Amino acid sequence: MSVRTILSRLGANRTGSVLTEFALLAPVMLMLMIGVFQVAVYVQNYNALRSVVSDTARFVTVEYQKENDLSPDEIHAVLLSQAIGAPYLLDTDRLEISVEPAETSRIADATEFEVEVTYTLDDWMPFVDLEEASLTYNRPIFVVDPAA
């Protein structure tokens, strides 16, 4: 068998081409899938933050309607218990909560609290050096004293 025959057979042989293409494309596809998963987790965490603050605002409003005036520390405790409980299950080590009464309320005869929640996100790609990402959500809570 001549060298020319061997080279022509090797050039016509396509049995390893699929394996070669897979070896070239698999890392790229894997990185894309991990990236999509990481973005989905980020969006889920942001929605959890929004829902936790909304649930807490509803709770505080109901408590004020029952004439239970809550202090900022009590609102902080309610927000923390909402965040770490089901269905949100946020990690307390990565959660920062700030509840401050506003100096002047934007609504007459109402008490205003400024709530800010920051959550530091997990990095799903440890082999890629990314900056630490965090989500921050803030919103006011307005409550009206029913006796007023």
Q: How large is the average pLDDT for residues 112-138?
A: 85
Each residue of 48-102: pLDDT tens digit?
999 999 999 999 999 998 988 899 999 999 999 999 999 999 999 999 999 999 9
State the pLDDT at residue 51.
96
CA torsion, ordered 105, 51, 53, 134, to nearest 10 deg: -110
State the pLDDT at residue 146.
66
Give the distance from CA 138 to its chain's centroid.
14
Each residue of 100-121: pLDDT tens digit?
999 999 998 899 999 999 999 8
Q: How confident is the model at residue 126 (pLDDT cuts 50, 70, 90)?
A: low
Q: How confident is the model at residue 123 (pLDDT cuts 50, 70, 90)?
A: confident
Encoded tokens for 103: 């100096």
Q: Quick one: which H or E segment has residue 145? A: none
Cβ atoms of residues 138 and 129 within 8 Å = no
Whole-number Å distance between alpha carbons of 38 and 111: 39
Where are the domains positioned within the chain? 15-143
Whole-number Å distance between alpha carbons of 34 and 141: 37
State the pLDDT at residue 148.
58
Q: Name which residue leads in pLDDT, 96 or 20.
A: 96
Q: How confident is the model at residue 29 (pLDDT cuts 50, 70, 90)?
A: very high
Whole-number Å distance between alpha carbons of 57 and 70: 12
CB burial of 51-73 (b: ≥16 within 10 Å; e: otherwise) equals ebbebbbebbeebbeeeeebeee
State the pLDDT at residue 73.
96
Encoded tokens for 37: 């998963």
